[in-house]
A and B are shown apart, each in its own frame.
Chain A
Amino acid sequence: MTTTTMNNTVPDNLQAGALSALRPLGPLGALSPRVGPLQGLRQTFSLAWRTLVQIKHNPAELIDFSVQPVMFLLLFTYVFGGAIGGSPHAYLMFALPGIIVQNSLFTTLNTATGLSTDLEKGFFDRLRSLPIARFAPLSGRILADIAKQAWAVIMLLVIGYILGFRIGTGPLGLLAAFGLVLISTLALSWALVLVAMLAANPEKVQIFGFVVLFPITFTSDAFVRTASMPGWLQAWSKANPVTLIADAMRGLMVSGPAARPAVESLLYAAGFTLVFAPLAVRAFKRRV
């Protein structure tokens, strides 16, 4: 080792014991020609870990995605429930599937604001300069958001159970409901990802996302039956993807028809993906 020559060139303020970090380059090993699928998967997990570790340093985020849904659940059950559904319990059976959909949709806003932050701060450049799968930054974030959603859904179910909610179908129905809400909300989130690529900063994504998500969610039948709405709103509500997902969730978790709204939800999901995914990818390529 050329420790002596390095001591001449490496300044004193870099501690002598640490010089090994700046060791001279060895012979160049063979370069891999591409990222293997398994490596891509591992990188996805590493980046999902990174998004989840952020929670540890920013506990406010934990409140955001665990206290908020519980607060919604309690508020709707006990404050509005009697007035809307006759009794808190009857309303809970109606509204819990809808609250799960609402919560999952709002969680996908995290995907969009997180991407926007990474783009703005230059962290995306760091990732893209590394020899990793091109899809890993996005898939890692989506995986982390799935974990957050799963956590919120489990919490809603547990607290819902304590309040009196009962699954009317079975474990398979519940599993299907969970799969459906994940797939549908992720597909809808492509539209938000596009916003993230176009907006200058995460605050704008947050505001825009909220302005869009809020009315769409509340003009659906996630929280109320649409019969008391004016005719034009009922027409919109019937076509609203949130209504379809909420209907399918009720069918899969409690009772009622599930197949038709589920298929329609998945068609919506396919449509959103087909339209917004290419637009988002194009906007991403133009931005960087």
Chain B
Amino acid sequence: MTYSIIAEGLVKRYGETVALDGIDLAVRTGSVFGLLGPNGAGKTTAVRILATLIRPDVGHAAVCGHDVVSQAHQVRQLTGLTGQYASVDETLTGTENLMLIGRLTGQSRTAANGRARELLAAFRLSDAADRAVKTYSGGMRRRLDLAASLVTSPRVLYLDEPTTGLDPLSRNEMWEVVRGLSATGVTVLLTTQYLEEADQLAEDIAVVDHGSVIATGTPDELKARTGAQTLSVRPANPADVPAVMAIVTGFSPAEPEVRNTTVTVPVSQEDVLPSVMRRFEDAGIRVAELNLRGSSLDEVFLSLTGRRTETGPEAEVLEGSAA
């Protein structure tokens, strides 16, 4: 098995703030790798190091065997970066943006123009090709940004929160594009705050928090560990809460939580509802509300770390300044 990205012990500090606290990553060639974590976890910092935009304070990383610090120029020939914020020139048209990148990377005028048209068509932007980017919608901008990172046909693609801020329709579109890209053999490293996104796209996931990897595995492995879904039960009689807790504990790897009179717990089996219902009936507990839904990142974190994610203002600022 070959790895396109290897990172060992990456540390990055900004003054007092530790953005990365020793991260190890190994991304298999041709796979989609998900870096999952809340705002301020260090995802963007890690991507910026791997894309040669910043240097790690400690540790090293290599892309296709080339060191990101000492062989940065080689790494840049292999990688494409699509940031959290669309990094295209808003005053230029879509075609001009893509042509600029083609020309900068040594393509002839004809080749750059051809590649631009080709990519605009692939991303359904042909109609807007000659309009200034500032007239584009959020989804269109994001697609152009992705197209811009593909002009050079990179082997490794970094997608930093590719769907943050997009509406559900645009998000689904972006997922399809990532799958299509992956099918061409490109290695994709994507960062996301959404468990569902990592589950949909990634073959391997690393969960990061406070600059450290706190869990790794396939989506199935992680779901088995953390509970892919959340069961919540509200007994009709508040006095039944302890009994409900005792019952649901048997279905979960983690401790149940109580808010008001609702008991919530992560569960990994999908067919949990009938057995849970039977147990309640056997115990004579009347249930006012019962539901099963996909876990949020917050709940995955809770079961991994025993605490909730901290997406306070400080974390927002950190990620913002790093982006």
**A131 contacts B by Cβ under 8 Å:** yes
Contact: B87 with A125, CB < 8 Å? yes
Closest chain B residue, CB of each to CB of A122:
B87
Contact: A50 with B105, CB < 8 Å? no
**Which residues of B, 77-136, contact A by the 8 Å Cβ criterion?**
77-81, 83, 85-93, 96, 100-101, 103-106, 115, 118-119, 121-124, 132
Contact: A22 with B124, CB < 8 Å? no
**Which residues of A, 110-142, contact B by the 8 Å Cβ criterion?**
121-132, 136
- Measured CB to CB, the closest approach of chain A to B174, in angstroms, equals 11
A residues contacting B by CB (< 8 A) are: 5-6, 9-11, 13-15, 17-25, 28, 31-35, 39, 42-43, 46-47, 49-50, 53-54, 57-58, 121-132, 136, 288
Contact: A31 with B183, CB < 8 Å? no
Contact: B54 with A50, CB < 8 Å? no
**B152 contacts A by Cβ under 8 Å:** yes
B residues contacting A by CB (< 8 A) are: 48, 51-54, 64, 66, 73-74, 76-81, 83, 85-93, 96, 100-101, 103-106, 115, 118-119, 121-124, 132, 148-150, 152-153, 155, 173, 176-177, 179-186, 323
Contact: B89 with A22, CB < 8 Å? no
- Measured CB to CB, the closest approach of chain A to B107, in angstroms, equals 10
The listed residue (A9, A23, A39, A121) touching B106 by CB distance below 8 A is A39
- Measured CB to CB, the closest approach of chain A to B17, in angstroms, equals 14
Complex-state Cα separation, A21 to B66, whole angstroms: 26
B-chain residues with CB within 8 Å of residue A124 when the two chains form the complex: 87
A22 in contact with B100 given A131-B77, A288-B54 (CB within 8 Å): no
22 contacts between A and B (CB under 8 A): A9-B182, A11-B176, A14-B123, A18-B122, A22-B183, A28-B64, A32-B73, A32-B74, A42-B106, A49-B100, A50-B89, A54-B89, A121-B85, A121-B87, A121-B89, A122-B85, A125-B48, A126-B83, A131-B76, A131-B152, A132-B76, A132-B104
B-chain residues with CB within 8 Å of residue A288 when the two chains form the complex: 53-54
Known pairs A54-B92, A122-B85, A122-B87. 18 more at Cβ < 8 A?
A10-B179, A14-B180, A21-B115, A22-B122, A22-B181, A25-B153, A31-B78, A39-B106, A47-B100, A50-B89, A50-B92, A50-B100, A57-B132, A58-B91, A121-B90, A122-B323, A129-B51, A131-B76
Complex-state Cα separation, A9 to B185, whole angstroms: 12
Complex-state Cα separation, A22 to B121, whole angstroms: 11
B-chain residues with CB within 8 Å of residue A50 when the two chains form the complex: 89, 92, 96, 100
A25 in contact with B186 given A50-B100, A57-B92 (CB within 8 Å): yes
A31 in contact with B121 given A5-B183, A22-B181, A46-B100 (CB within 8 Å): no
- Measured CB to CB, the closest approach of chain B to A87, in angstroms, equals 44
Closest chain B residue, CB of each to CB of A54:
B91
Complex-state Cα separation, A43 to B118, whole angstroms: 23
Contact: A31 with B155, CB < 8 Å? no
Complex-state Cα separation, A41 to B74, whole angstroms: 19
